[in-house]
Amino acid sequence: MQALFLLGLLSAYAHAQTIDFNREIRPILSDRCFTCHGPDAAERKANLRLDLESDAKRKAILPGNATSSPLYQRITATNALRMPPAYAGHKKLADREIALIERWIREGAKWQSHWAFTSPQKPAIPTTRNTAWPRNNIDRFLLARLEKEGLAPSPEASKETLIRRLSLDITGLPPTPAELAAFLADKSPAAYENLVDRLFASPHYGERMAVDWLDAARYADTHGYQVDPEKEMWAWRDWVVNAFNRNQTFDQFTIDQMAGDLLPNPTLDQRIATGFHRNHRVNTEAGSIAAEFHVENIVDRISTVGTVWLGLTVGCSRCHDHKFDPLTMRDFYSLFAFFNNVPEVGTGGPRDGRGNLQPVMKLPAPELEAQLAAVQYKLTAARSELKSIETRLAPAQTAWESKALAHQPRWHTLEARDLKSREGVLFEKQNDGSYFASGPKPDRDVITVTAQTHLRDITAFRLELIPDPRLPAGGSGRGPNGRAVITLFEAQQARLAEPSKLRPLDLATATASYASPESVLIRVLRPMQQLTRGWSVEPELDKPHSLVLEPRQLTGYAGGTAFTFKIGNEYGAAHLLGRFRLSVTDDPYPDFPSEDVTAALRTAPAARTPEEQTLLRRYYLQRQPERRVINDTITRLNTQRTAIENKIPSTMIMKEMGVPRDTFVLTRGAYEKRAEKVTAATPAFLPPLPTDAPKNRLGLAQWLVSPSNPLTARVMVNRLWQMYFGNGLVRTAEDFGSQGIPPTHPELLDYLATEFVRSGWDRKALQKQIVMSAAYRQSAKATPELLEKDPENLLLARGARFRLPAETIRDQALAVAGLLQPKMGGPPVKPYQPDGLWEQLSVIDDRKLYIRSTGDDLWRRSLYTYWKRTVPPPSMTTFDAPTREFCVVKRTRSSTPLQALALLNDETYVEAARVLAQRMLREGGPTPSARIAHGFRLATSRTPSTAEIAVLSAGLERRLAAYKQDSAAVTQLLAAGEAPRDASLPQPELAAYTTLAAVILNLDEVVTRQ
């Protein structure tokens, strides 16, 4: 339908010749009839298929005789037989469409198979009346069509326009003044081609090209879905940039990403490349069902392959046969089988130190690997020492066992030097060294106790709850029935000599003489914001009970130790301490052993099970002081090792399982509804897998780029065309099926596709051919005639004019100001972004999450900006960058007030304007008009007209007058951004020029490539 509309805008071209089935009839049948009379067997009515010539002509169409054809009779019926039926959701056929169908049948109902599903053949090169204009075959195809329409191409654009257009299109950066000057000075006939060659050889070419590929591959720095944790895939991104720069052929580019791991002896790069299929989102939300998201992830992979390589809406056949294209559910799940054999977990499974999910590959990091080896060496030594210590200690175990049950550790009561309650509760010391609470009775409280000891090798602290008749029900707490709930026990320590140098003490375990069933002792040591749980002795409230807390490592300084304890009662409802005592011990066995341990001790040695023997041996050894020391060393080394390991970058890759998973058709696409079993296969309506191709991802990749595949080359060529003309020859870059818009220039598309394959899938060569054409070099100025006849510029009788992509807008501003840092690759960076964006939407509301980069990393190309899927960088999404949650091959292009606000007020652009102003003042010459011209030229590559200079200099003067009266405003404006300020320049002038530079950066011409 869309196609008809677009073409309808043109002259009566179509009426001059016989009706083209693919362009004029199939879209109508597809849009209005195929839903019930098309490929989907389940929905088919009257057993009639109008997508198949044989079926249609047997049952519904009599070629040459429209009025006798049931199809025509039904679409013109005036009663209930009228098609499409009148009920909801079906659109009527317009009179014009009915007339077209009538004429088509009358003229013989000539059928064609869908244009995109037959292999492109190199068409004859058309001859044109005007032979002077065409520079290459592209022009001959375009001009032949223009001549049919009675239109003439536009003149060539100026050299200034061309160098800016080429530089922005090919590298995403504007030309420098030197590049501009050199090109303008070069009067040789090869000047243009030399410029083109230089740009394609620039490393910035790969950076520009990568942006579109990252959209298609849904590349990001986080996993997505609402939890959206960090991951690390920049090695894959750098691989893409590099692949473009070395002009890797598209067939190899495809094979590496689809199946690099399955190549014989894959290189590191080939394995990194397979990350393409690991870029999809992963739902790590608690409670997600792994089997469900296993399916979702693979569906995402297939849909992406469908869009990127085949230009097909493959995902439509997940739940039913495709409504418009001959793709069955069976085809869909046969494709599914190719991707179903990766050793992965649908909800992610454990993440490595970089946030990545299995299968994952560490990247080479020689320095870190050396550090790791050193730690590993020490670790091995410490472990063997541990073994020998254990052997030495073993004989004494029997003696220990005989006394263990009766063991009473010796505790030393701690006297509080200071005891403070957050809520002003009062504490009174008792004769037994305990403290009794009185006074205010808040709902919640935290007390802070400081105490000292000279004890060394401290193994534990003890908190006793002591019943007291003065407390409710004679319990040990101040809450209902004498309850207290301990929700926190935290300790810090310092040398007695330096009591202010407090360090946190790592308390590892908590055991109690008794704990209520609701108690969660570990929460006393590791409180969670959500969970005010901890230790309570309900219902034994009137009995004394103890909680023993053991530090991970022995502690106590020579010369004495000062401790500060925090004890929390945050359960609410005044579940507060009533009477308590604190003590400390150096006894090796201070804790309340678990029931398993005591049971084993009660059992006669000969009667113990092997498990019990192991348990006792471990319990005995672990608390021996000598072993603890060496064990602490091992713990420390392990921590070091993990820290180093977590620094080694990694990247997610594809891998094939030894035994592949079974794949089934899933009824209605639901993960748990398995139907018939299928094996890996390509869609039946397309050419088969090459006979020698393996039935795995590698075979699929080879099939995608086999010359017999009718889609891949067309789809890729179309997207490259789209980069240079703003739209593809097929406007629906994502859909080449029967619902897509047919190509405006089908022969040209086929010519380019066949040339592309013939060149060995050489992308630079194809792009060069495009930019060398006269069509590309045309001026973008529109005439009233062209606007009337071809408002959408479908026929390209003028140059394309469109707003720059988000990345280019920012990169250009940085480049024009001279701020852009050329460094390529590596981990992503976090440039300026308004505060609070991540924080407002995230799980945690009180921690700063977006830590802005500093220095040069503020001014890297936007390609390297950190991409958080749930909160993507606003400076990018405001200008239509996708969220990177799913594959996108054509961005929308909008014009909104939010874009104006961003370009005027975002710190990035205010800083760029300030620095550009410095450049204008320093480099531009002595007069305002020369300086204005300099800034203008940096941003547009051309000299401003007198009228433009007049507007800009008048504005500059107005604002200069204002800033001369307001030094505070000058200081404020010039404080924008971290880039150095030039204090030697007159500051009010600099402020006024900053506003002028901002005006320039906001011009439509500057954010547009024309």
Stretch of 269-277, 435-443, 690-698, 832-840 lying at the interface with another protein (CB under 8 A): 832-840
Question: Which DSSP category does 730 fall into?
Answer: S
CB 409, min distance to another protein, A: 32
For position 531 contacting another protein by CB under 8 A, the verdict is yes
CA distances from 664 to 297, 329, 330, 660, 679 (A): 16, 10, 9, 13, 8
The single residue among 657, 684, 844, 930 that binds another protein, judged by CB under 8 A, is 844
Contact between 94 and another protein per CB under 8 A: no
Question: In this structure, what are the phi and psi dihedrals at residue 1009, rounded to the nearest 5 degrees?
Answer: -105, 120
Q: In the complex, what is the shortest distance from the CB of residue 746 to another protein, in angstroms, rounded to a whole number?
A: 18
Residue 400 near residue 618, CB atoms below 8 Å: no
Can you tell me the distance from the alpha carbon of 399 to that of 391, in angstroms, rounded to the nearest whole number? 15
> What number of other Cβ atoms are within 10 A of residue 927's Cβ?
10
Task: Kindly state whether residue 136 participates in binding another protein, applying the rule CB under 8 A.
Answer: no
- The closest of 208, 205, 228, 206 to 867, measured between CA atoms, is 228
Which of 282, 906, 924, 938 is in the footprint of another protein by CB under 8 A?
906
The answer to the question of residue 938 lying near another protein (CB under 8 A) is: no
Residue with smaller CB distance to another protein, 686 or 902: 902
Among 894, 927, 943, 984, binds another protein (CB under 8 A): 894
Structure token pair of residue 562: 């000062």
Chain centre distance of CA 300: 14
Query: Which residue lies nearer to another protein by CB, 507 or 1006?
Result: 1006
91 binds another protein (CB under 8 A): yes
Of residues 193-212, those binding another protein (CB under 8 A): none
Going by C-alpha positions, the residue among 570, 636, 815, 667 that lies closest to residue 329 is: 667
Among the listed residues 637, 635, 453, 632, the one whose alpha carbon sits nearest the alpha carbon of residue 554: 632
Residue 852 to residue 834: CA distance in whole angstroms: 10
> Which part of the chain contacts another protein (CB under 8 A), choosing from 100-108, 546-554, 597-605, 776-784?
776-784
Cα separation, 657 vs 678, in Å, equals 17
* 969: contact with another protein by CB under 8 A: yes
User: Could you say whether residue 504 binds another protein (CB under 8 A)?
Assistant: no
- Angle, helices 946-964 vs 987-1002, to 10°: value is 140
The only residue of 381, 396, 599, 898 in contact with another protein, by rule CB under 8 A: 898
Stretch of residues binding another protein (CB under 8 A), selected from 185-193, 208-216, 410-418, 526-534: 526-534
3-state helix, strand, coil in the chain (%, to 5): 45, 10, 45
DSSP β-bridge partners for residue 526: none
> Does 174 engage in binding with another protein (CB under 8 A)?
no
Q: Which of 634, 772, 904, 979 binds another protein (CB under 8 A)?
A: 904
To another protein, the closest distance from the beta carbon of 197 in angstroms equals 29
Q: Which of 154, 356, 722, 870 binds another protein (CB under 8 A)?
A: 870
Q: How far is the CB of 1005 from another protein (least distance, A)?
A: 5
Q: Using the rule CB under 8 A, which residue among 363, 522, 841, 985 binds another protein? A: 841
The smaller minimum CB distance to another protein, of residues 164 and 581, is found at 164
- What does the CA dihedral 757, 762, 767, 770 come to, rounded to 10 degrees? -40
Nearer to another protein, 549 or 916 (CB): 916
Q: Is the dihedral of CA 131, 133, 139, 144 positive or negative?
A: negative
Q: Does 84 bind another protein (CB under 8 A)?
A: no
Q: What is the enclosing helix (H) or strand (E) of 960? A: helix 946-964
Residue 44 burial class via C-beta count within 10 angstroms: exposed 0-12, middle 13-18, buried 19 and up: middle
Tokens of 760: 């060995």
Applying the rule CB under 8 A, the residues between 680 and 699 that interact with another protein are none
Partner residues linked to 446 by β-bridges: 568
Site for another protein contains 965 (CB under 8 A): no
Write the binding mask 320 to 339 for another protein: x where contact by CB under 8 A, - elsewhere: ---xx---------------
11 is a site residue for another protein (CB under 8 A): no
Using CB under 8 A, which residues numbered 871 to 890 contact another protein?
Answer: 871-872, 874, 877-878, 880, 883, 885-886
For residue 879, give Cα distances in angstroms to 136, 217, 375, 724, 827: 35, 19, 49, 18, 24
287 binds another protein, rule: CB under 8 A: yes
Six-digit token string for 738: 């029967």
- Looking at residues 907 to 936 of the shown chain, list those that interact with another protein (rule: CB under 8 A): 907, 910
DSSP 531: B
Q: Which of 107, 428, 518, 626 binds another protein (CB under 8 A)?
A: 518
Size of the site for another protein (CB under 8 A): 116
d(CA 25, CA 19): 8
Residue 947: CB minimum distance to another protein, A: 6
End-to-end CA distance of the chain: 30
Q: From the list 976, 989, 993, 1009, which residue makes contact with another protein (rule: CB under 8 A)?
A: 976
CA atoms of 190 and 931, how far apart (whole Å): 33
- Among the listed residues 530, 610, 658, 851, the single contact to another protein using CB under 8 A: 530
Stretch of 112-120, 262-270, 316-324, 449-457 contacting another protein, by CB under 8 A: 316-324
- Under 8 Å between Cβ of 448 and 419: yes
Least distance in Å: CB of 882 to another protein?
9
Closer of 437 and 910 to another protein (Cβ): 910
What would the x/- binding string for another protein be over residues 793 to 822, using CB under 8 A?
--------xxx-------------------
DSSP-derived letter for residue 856 is G
The tokens 């008048």 sit on which residue?
Answer: 954
* Alpha-carbon distance values, 990 to 342, 993, 995 (Å): 59, 5, 9
Find the part of the chain contacting another protein (CB under 8 A) among 10-18, 451-459, 765-773, 774-782: 774-782
Q: Which is closer to another protein, CB of 209 or CB of 999?
A: 999
Report the candidate in 993, 927, 804, 868 with the shortest Cα–Cα distance to residue 169: 804
- Distance, in Å, from the CA atom of 48 to the CA atom of 40, rounded to the nearest integer, reads 11
- Amino acid identity of residue 546, one-letter, is S
- State which residue, 854 or 972, has the beta carbon closest to another protein: 972
Name the segment binding another protein (CB under 8 A); options: 45-53, 502-510, 706-714, 944-952. Answer: 944-952
List phi, psi (to 5°) of 956: -60, -45
Min dist CB 857 to another protein, Å, is 22
Q: Establish if 659 lies at the interface with another protein (CB under 8 A).
A: no
Tell how many helices (H) and how many strands (E) occur in the chain: 37, 18
- The nearest distance, CB 535 to another protein, in angstroms, is 15
Return the range that interacts with another protein (CB under 8 A); candidates 363-371, 398-406, 500-508, 1000-1008: 1000-1008
Side chain identity at 474, as an amino acid letter? G
CB closer to another protein, 554 vs 951: 951
Asked if 88 is part of the footprint of another protein (rule: CB under 8 A), the reply reads: yes
Does 559 engage in binding with another protein (CB under 8 A)?
Answer: no
Among positions 436-495, residues that touch another protein (CB under 8 A) are: none
Identify which of residues 121 and 905 has a Cβ nearer to another protein in the complex. Answer: 905
Exactly one of 112, 388, 609, 895 binds another protein (CB under 8 A); that residue is: 895
Q: Which of 283, 453, 476, 583 touches another protein (CB under 8 A)?
A: 283
Query: Structure tokens of 599?
Result: 């049971």
Sign of CA dihedral 641, 646, 647, 652: positive
